[in-house]
Chains A and B, each alone.
Chain A
Amino acid sequence: SAVISQKPSRDICQRGTSLTIQCQVDSQVTMMFWYRQQPGQSLTLIATANQGSEATYESGFVIDKFPISRPNLTFSTLTVSNMSPEDSSIYLCSVARTSGIYEQYFGPGTRLTVT
Chain B
Amino acid sequence: GQSLEQPSEVTAVEGAIVQINCTYQTSGFYGLSWYQQHDGGAPTFLSYNALDGLEETGRFSSFLSRSDSYGYLLLQELQMKDSASYFCAVRASSASKIIFGSGTRLSIRP
Contact = CB atoms under 8 A, between A and B. Distances in A.
Contacts, number: 49
B91 A101 contact: yes
A48 B48 contact: no
B89 interface: yes
B91 A42 contact: no
Contact of A42 (B44, B96, B97, B101): B101
Interface string B19-63: 000000000001101000000011111001010000000000000
**Which of the listed residues B30, B91, B99 has the most CB atoms from chain A within 10 Å of its own CB?**
B99
Interface string A67-78: 000000000000
A108 B45 contact: no
A47 to B, nearest CB: 10
Give chain B's interface residue range (CB within 8 Å of chain A). Answer: 20 to 34
Interface in A10-62: 31, 33, 40-45, 48, 58
Contact of A102 (B31, B41, B42): B31
Interface of A: 31, 33, 40-45, 48, 58, 92, 94, 100-109
14 contacts: A31-B96, A40-B105, A41-B103, A43-B100, A45-B99, A48-B96, A92-B42, A94-B43, A101-B98, A102-B30, A102-B31, A103-B33, A106-B44, A109-B42
